[in-house]
Amino acid sequence: MLIPGVLALFSFLLIGSTNGTLALSGLKEVSMFAWAILFIGMIVKIPAIGLHSWLPWTYEQSPTPPLGLLIMSDGLAGYILLRIYLVDPSFIEAYRIPILAYALFSAIYAGFSVFRQTNYKRLLGYSSISQMNYMLVALCLGSYGIMGLVIQFLSHSFGKSILLMTAGGVIALYGMKDLKDMGGLHDHMPEISNAAVIGWMNLGGILTIGMLGEFFILRGVVDTFLRPDSPSFLGWTGSLPIILAVIFMFLLSVWYGFYMLRRIFYGRPRSLKSEKKHVSGYLYIPLFIIGLLSVIFLFPPVAPALAKGVGIIIGGVIP
């Protein structure tokens, strides 16, 4: 985990020496070399496929409460790329297609990898890889994509914090980490099971702030690729292939989310340890508060205010 920090620091020093300042407001340009170093460091942190093995292992081995902070630090990699993009987008514009293809591959590959996991927290790690690569996809999609990046960061933070706390609740009550021991837990912990539904809805973009993020990402696809001078994507001209790939990426999150929800909380119990226990409010009340916030952010007046505020903060990039 030192690699992203070292590469980012080296890149910042290069940027500062070129511009004579490290103040973001004073930066005028970012060299391709500095951009490349920073980009490599941040895709380790996001992480993209090929550089990802540390994250599922970290999710599996770490105590559950601190993982909420790890979610935020992963998203900050996308935020750092965004801030440098707003200073000088030349690197992303020059390599838009290979970056986009790599991000889509990473998101889809990690999504399918969720199905192969038997550890609850480890599968959430692969889900995070998929969701964080949404942000890398969004970075390649112009002004609307940038809006989608910021909102996707919020959506993932809401949804994944809920799901990690549901994993913590299952561990605290029954000591279960392996999916082979789970099943039928809804009857024993319905509050935590229902909270998990809200968590997966966030990641799937269903009636939560995640829906708003996915809308802006799709709008970015159309705005970027549905123009007379649009770049080709893997030999295809126009937006249809990339729109289909992005839609499949979104649907994959819904697919694996509700598949895992059924496998963990519904169906026939697979362990004798799943006797009914008292579920403390400390284990589920915070989850519903976070879930309620994620729904409120989707509807007026909060949603328009959020979109307008994000646009102002990132420099009024929306035309």
CB atoms within 10 A of CB 260: 22
Cα gap 134→250, rounded to integer Å: 9
- The pLDDT of residue 234 is above 60: no
CB atoms within 10 A of CB 155: 28
- The pLDDT of residue 226 is above 60: yes
SS (H, E, C) 173-206: HHCCCEHHHCCCHHHCCHHHHHHHHHHHHHHHCC
- Asked if 218 and 138 count as a contact pair (C-beta separation under 8 A), the reply is no
Q: What does the pLDDT look like over 235-293, one tens digit per residue?
A: 555 577 888 999 999 999 999 999 999 999 998 887 756 567 788 888 999 999 999 99
Cα gap 57→285, rounded to integer Å: 28
Q: Domain locations in the chain?
A: 96-313
70: which DSSP letter? H
Cα gap 311→305, rounded to integer Å: 10
Locate 256 and state its tokens. 């694996």
Cα gap 149→144, rounded to integer Å: 9
235: which DSSP letter? T
The whole-number pLDDT of residue 237 equals: 54
CB atoms within 10 A of CB 138: 30
Q: Higher-confidence residue: 318 or 156?
A: 156
Sign of CA dihedral 35, 41, 150, 19: negative
- pTM summary value: 0.91
